[in-house]
Structure 1
Amino acid sequence: MKPLEGLLVLEFSQFMAAPTAGLRLADLGARVIKIERPVKGEAGRQIAIRNIFVDGSSLVFHTINRNKESYGADLKDPEDLARVKKLIQQADVITHNFRPGVMQKIGLDYESVKAINPRIIYGVVTGYGNKGPWALRPGQDLLIQSLSGLAYLSDTADAGPVPFGLATADMICGAHFVQGILAALIKRAKTNQGVLVEVSLLESTLDLQFEVITTYLNDGGKLPQRSSVKGNGHAYLSAPYGIYQTKDAYLSLAMGDLHKIGHAIGANLSGYADKASWFDNRDEIITQLAQNIKHKTTAEWLELLEAAGIWCSEVMTYEQTLQHEGVKILGMQQSVTLPDGSSLSTTRCPIRINGEKLYSNVAAPRPGAQTEAINQQFNLI
């Protein structure tokens, strides 16, 4: 039995952050029903990566909406809204990520829903919170990265702002959303009262940077200092941290004793006795290390450095990573079965419960696929 079995979650959410939270709740055993527009479904079904669509919806939609059901309802239609309210009476959690004010207009804001179901856990994802000058701005991942300072942490000093190659804000916000919902469920178990849980993309992305923002706040307001040498990748860490080109590929070096590393690769770094100089002179040290490292293959360096207890790694592509025994033994890949009987490969939930990996072969639903069955089961008509 999975930990959240018996829990009913109604997901009014679209796009990525909140549906990602719904995915994790479903992986942990909750029954997650998406409340979607009839026929077309939620807008996220049309947001595609590399323009790949599967079974009528984007591939990215399938990655974050597997293991869910879909209930078609036009929330502006009084009859559909009445059925949804009946469903809310029987739910444990509802989530949405509409802009501030939208659910109030529909009559499904927190106070209205709490009147229907006093024990409801009501979860809201916004872009920037529900107050302030940005409250009504589009809560989109790249915009959040740009507004949060995150874009000035990667690449080199002369690169300008560089966004992450992931929907970083959405994903971390979804994780925080799950944490808040689970904490609220524990509180409800103690008080028998509902709880309002609110997160925002901006707050989550600021929290993601807690180490470096705290450094900024306690370092005289000095802005992040990215290295001018390619491969360092961290504005606040000293040499030797970074990725280096070898004779045949690349090698990463984590934090470590600079003199021990210099000795291992044959670089004379005796002029940097003071640890503070490892940051102050980061670029010249990295350049010197790079000159030595390029003369051997990655495999040769790994054998030498690992024997010396130095933290290092080869740098892999997806092809290399997914074929490596270190990844394969984790069993992170799974297949889900689409409505037409074909299969789709994706990843599993990364959490284990009592040593058991959490798999499910249930694909994302077509819009409204379970409407009639849910109407019957919950006596909505």
Structure 2
Amino acid sequence: MKRPLEGLIVLEFCQFLAGPLAGLKLADLGARVIKIERPVKGEACRQLAIKNLFVENDSLLFHTINRDKESYAADLKNPEDLERVKKLIAKADIMTHNFRPGVMEKIGLDFESAKAINPKIIYGVVTGYGDKGPWANKPGQDLLVQSLSGLTQLTGTKNDGPVPFGLSVADTMCGNHLAQGLLAALLKRAKTGKGVLVEVSLLESTLDLQFEVLTTYLNDGARLPQRSAVRGSGHAYLSAPYGIYHTADGYLALAMGNLHNIAAAIGCDISEHFAESSSWFDKRDEIGVLFSGIIVQKNTEEWIYILEHAGVWCARVLNYQEVFHQDAVKQAEAIQSVKTSQNTEIKTTRSPIKINESRLYSAKSAPKVGAGNTLINQEFNLENI
């Protein structure tokens, strides 16, 4: 199957997560993504590991984010290497970077300089907090951005203090926003024939992630979110019974719904104290405690049978081992295997997008540093600089 972005060349001057994630999304859609890396050591994420897992001297995390890319090793402080990179820019469709503000200007590869080389270049920039302002030089790190954006005030109970997400949510959202902006820029360039500058920041992406609750805050007298005191409550702004409950043998998730219908299904009479829907938010802690005392008396499967037959939105709460035993997950075929140059197999996720009913798979793992230099030098006539 021919993929939508086949024939496009992307030069990725990015490291760590957000920028390379955008490159991964473009590669999944068929773009040729060439990582421009420093010689020998490559980009810093090669040594940034989750759970200290490495594959052939590079972190498993690096392999996760950089599969199906090529690597071109270049020292941007070396005039000859820099000239080779400029020749690549002249042939590229997109280039991305997440250097600190001012770095690309100093090298001579900022947007205006790149546009002088290639007037049609689409130029993507990732920063932590924008390139100007009091936070411009702060470290753009995921936990720090979660903390500075208010995100840590939404999860857990009101007695927990701030609770961060258990994944790199700022980087992930920002990488997806960059990919979205680059795709929009391709359409813009097709109409105008001119280069486009696309800028995203971890802070703005994380604020945008909270668009529902921030809109509530801004239109509710600037009152802070109030998390429930009941453990398992899933949303600072939603009424009971939304959340996760202990059962006799596990956990059960209850989504939003008519509280009277849900109470009737579990055999709980709330008519005396919680008859009006206006009380379902203000009294959610009391309702949560009441429901918890009933739900814990039966097994999860018993509740699933009872609640689904009553039309109540509910689900089992699964761990990873249980997730991958589910027929629905197996049918989604969300996992793929990629192989390194030394034939080591790595299992990872695939693109969640289908094109013309076809899933997008990739067989190539992340490249070794500079593995593409010989081929790229020959293809783009870079040997004689």
TM-score (structure 1 length as normaliser) = 0.99
- Displacement of 1:110 in angstroms is 0.4
For structure 1, which runs of at least 5 residues remain unmatched after alignment? none
The aligned counterpart of 1:47 is 48
- Counterpart CA distance in 1 for 2:277 and 2:100 is 49
- Displacement of 1:190 in angstroms is 0.5
- Counterpart CA distance in 2 for 1:114 and 1:273 is 65
- Counterpart CA distance in 2 for 1:57 and 1:140 is 21
The aligned counterpart of 1:157 is 158
Does the 8 Å CA contact 1:150/1:209 hold for their aligned counterparts? yes
1:1-381 correspondence to structure 2 within 5 Å: 1-270=2-271, 271-381=273-383
Deviations 1:124-175 (A, max 9, x none): 0000001110001110000000000000000000100010000000000011
- Counterpart CA distance in 2 for 1:274 and 1:116 is 67
Deviations 1:245-300 (A, max 9, x none): 00000000000010101011011111212212000000000100000000000000
Deviations 1:215-260 (A, max 9, x none): 0000011101000010002100100000000000000000001010
- Displacement of 1:67 in angstroms is 0.3
Query: Aligned to 2:324, what secondary structure does the other structure show?
Result: helix
Deviations 1:45-87 (A, max 9, x none): 1110000011111111110000000000000000000000000
Query: Aligned to 2:134, what secondary structure does the other structure show?
Result: coil
- Counterpart CA distance in 1 for 2:375 and 2:330 is 38
Query: Aligned to 1:34, what secondary structure does the other structure show?
Result: strand
For structure 2, which runs of at least 5 residues remain unmatched after alignment? none
Query: Aligned to 2:33, what secondary structure does the other structure show?
Result: strand
- Counterpart CA distance in 1 for 2:5 and 2:163 is 39
CA RMSD for the aligned pairs? 0.5
TM-score (structure 2 length as normaliser) = 0.98
- Counterpart CA distance in 2 for 1:273 and 1:186 is 54
Give the AA of the match of 1:346.
T
Deviations 1:195-214 (A, max 9, x none): 00000000000000000000
- Counterpart CA distance in 2 for 1:311 and 1:127 is 38
Give the AA of the match of 1:243.
I
Give the AA of the match of 2:103.
V
- Counterpart CA distance in 2 for 1:287 and 1:380 is 69
Give the AA of the match of 1:370.
G
- Counterpart CA distance in 2 for 1:245 and 1:173 is 35
- Counterpart CA distance in 1 for 2:55 and 2:126 is 27
- Counterpart CA distance in 2 for 1:252 and 1:140 is 32
- Displacement of 1:119 in angstroms is 0.1
- Counterpart CA distance in 2 for 1:11 and 1:103 is 13
Does the 8 Å CA contact 1:156/1:233 hold for their aligned counterparts? no
Give the AA of the match of 1:266.
G
Deviations 1:12-61 (A, max 9, x none): 00000010000000000000000000010001111100000111111111
- Counterpart CA distance in 1 for 2:81 and 2:193 is 29
- Displacement of 1:120 in angstroms is 0.2
Give the AA of the match of 1:306.
E
Structure 1 residue ranges (4+ consecutive) displaced by more than 3 angstroms after TM superposition: none
Give the AA of the match of 2:196.
V
% same residue: 66
Moved more, 267-276 or 2-11: 267-276
Query: Aligned to 1:313, what secondary structure does the other structure show?
Result: strand
- Counterpart CA distance in 2 for 1:194 and 1:57 is 35
Give the AA of the match of 2:35.
K
Aligned residue pairs: how many? Answer: 381
- Counterpart CA distance in 2 for 1:373 and 1:300 is 61
Query: Aligned to 1:380, what secondary structure does the other structure show?
Result: coil
- Counterpart CA distance in 2 for 1:315 and 1:194 is 48
Query: Aligned to 2:235, what secondary structure does the other structure show?
Result: coil
